[in-house]
Amino acid sequence: MPVTKSAKRALRGSKAKESVNKAIISKLEGAIRSAKKSKTAVKITTAVALADRAAKKHTINKNKAARIKSQLSKLLHQKSF
């Protein structure tokens, strides 16, 4: 447990950020699962937008977002052939 006043404040802040980050990541993972299952353009673009938003907020690394977007775009192009 934190001892100092600033450490207690930091713990409250980190708990709040953790809950926000978990919500963002769970929404992203659900969208990715849905996009991989149905392979429609709407679901893929939604998942790509969520990946971009998560990277912009530094919830995930920008390279991970790029990797997710690449995998999803392959699904979209694979369906058209």
Q: Does residue 51 carry a pLDDT above 90?
A: yes
Looking at residue 12, its pLDDT comes to 96
Helices (H), 1-81: 5-38, 41-56, 62-80
Q: What is the pLDDT of residues 19-50, one digit of tens each?
A: 999 999 999 999 999 999 999 999 999 999 99
Q: Supply the pTM of this predicted model.
A: 0.86
Domain ranges within the chain, ordered by starting residue: 5-80
> 47-68 burial, b if ≥16 CB within 10 A, otherwise e?
bbebbeebbeeebbeeeebeeb
Residue 50's identity, in one-letter code, is: L
The CATH superfamily label for domain 5-80 reads Ribosomal protein S20 (1.20.58.110)
